[in-house]
Amino acid sequence: MATTGKVIRCKAAVAWEPNKPLVIEEIEVAPPQANEVRIKIVATGLCHTDLYHLFEGMHKDGFPAVLGHEGAGIVESVGPGVTEFQPGDKVIPMFTSQCRECRFCKSPKTNQCEKGWAVDRYDVMALEDTRFTYSKYLVNTCFRIFFNQNLMSFRFSVQHDGKESRFTCKGKKVLQFMGTSTFSEYTVVNQIAVAKIDPAAPLDKVCLLGCGICTGYGAAVNTAKVEPGSTCAVFGLGAVGLSAVMGCKAAGAKKIIAVDINPEKFEKAKVFGATDFVNPKDHDKPISQVLTEMTNGGVDYSLECTGNVGVMRSALESCIWAWGVSVIVGWTDLYDFAARPIKLISGRTWKGSSFGGFKSKDGVPEMVKAYLNKKVKLDEFITHNMSLVQINDAIELMKHGKCIRTVLSVSP
């Protein structure tokens, strides 16, 4: 490609500070270095985790940043040492790495990786070093790029008048959110965090497999290990919760109770396999009691997909006391969660799930195949299609519960 080996100027939606609208800026993306892949992002979903960082987490060291972590695109160029990918490949950048070499990657017990961005800075949701720069400040400078392969980290510096200094924009670096930053026309990602997918896959659909759908579906199938004939309850009917419903159905659950305070979501939940629907606002007793009475002692499996610590406890207490399994899926790091010990001593299991337990580079291509073979739904999640310049409109829709998934067209 004509851009190979060159710095690319492109548009990106930058979050300059928390709780403020994103701004479409022109940034510069350097060529890929050793073990890196530069990707032209074609489409990206807007996930609630983006909103969490912007409006809830609001970590002081997490801004400015280019958000987005649920995208799909085409390989533009690769750096030295990359043999798995070549220009033109369709790929999904992953926020969960899979190096295939560390003790976590070699273990079937987890999908975590010791070389991912979250090892040291999960609370900030971005490494301190960045691959993005704001092009307004790139004048009469030359790049010097430092790469730490073990931590997937990058550092930009500039040589100007014989002195080295950090690249800044308005005095600040622009961070790469969750190692991906799909709200940019181009991004650079380490090859251990890129999944090569079927060339027949429509990027404006399979981009959703970069986070939400795999997260919910896998929480049911991989983490909870829902069994045929079982009874399940899913708390929260956003894209992750609806994916969990879909996973429960795929696993053969006979009764799937969809729980949400927005009854408008119940019809959509039925599409994915929900059999019963409960709005906690319709009852004057705890939701755990309601579900216990509905199911002769509690559900076999419950999946919490809201990121609310109170709901996490309710989901646990909705499980049958002798063998129930409750899975925490919703992302949050703001508050402690709690339950009385007897709730677990009696036989319940309380566990967490990240990215649905999928090992990213292995699992995502398989999910893409499942979609192409009509075994997994994706189109039904998409309620709105917009362009990147409409990102703030998409955010407003999600903030007010007016969408399931908005897919943004990124590169022209």
Residues 6+ apart with CB under 8 A from 203: 42, 43, 72, 73, 74, 90
Any catalytic annotation for residue 105? Answer: yes
Annotated active-site residue in 10, 207, 211, 403:
211
Annotated active-site residue in 10, 102, 214, 403:
102
Annotated active-site residue in 48, 53, 313, 348:
48
Q: Is residue 65 within a helix (H) or strand (E), and if so which, with residue range?
A: strand 65-66
Annotated active-site residue in 28, 36, 38, 69:
69
Nearest-CA neighbor of 247 among 362, 71, 367? 367
Any catalytic annotation for residue 232? Answer: no
Nearest-CA neighbor of 253 among 284, 220, 289, 286? 220
Residue 135, CA atoms < 13 Å, CB-side half-sphere = 13
Nearest-CA neighbor of 63 among 22, 35, 30? 22
169 Rama sector, left if φ>0, alpha if ψ -120 to 50, beta otherwise? beta
Residue at 234: amino acid letter = V
Annotated active-site residue in 49, 182, 215, 231:
49
Any catalytic annotation for residue 102? Answer: yes
Annotated active-site residue in 25, 38, 44, 99:
99
Contact 246, 271 (CB under 8 A): no
Any catalytic annotation for residue 47? Answer: yes
Supply the angle between the helices 309-317 and 287-294 in degrees, to the nearest 10: 30
Any catalytic annotation for residue 405? Answer: yes
251 Rama sector, left if φ>0, alpha if ψ -120 to 50, beta otherwise? alpha
Strands 194-196 and 90-93: antiparallel
Gap between the Cα atoms of 86 and 263, Å rounded: 47
Annotated active-site residue in 47, 169, 207, 403:
47
Annotated active-site residue in 10, 105, 207, 305:
105
Annotated active-site residue in 38, 53, 131, 405:
405
What is the distance between the terminal CA atoms of the chain, rounded to a whole angstrom?
Answer: 16
Any catalytic annotation for residue 319? Answer: no
Any catalytic annotation for residue 187? Answer: no
Q: Which residues pair with 154 in a beta bridge?
A: 147
Take residue 54 and report the two structure tokens written for it: 């912007």
Could you count the other beta carbons within 10 Å of the beta carbon of residue 322? 10
Annotated active-site residue in 103, 144, 160, 166:
144
Annotated active-site residue in 25, 36, 70, 304:
70
Give Cα separations from 31 to 39, 71, 383 (angstroms).
10, 20, 35
Catalytic residues: 47-49, 69-70, 99, 102, 105, 113, 144, 211, 405
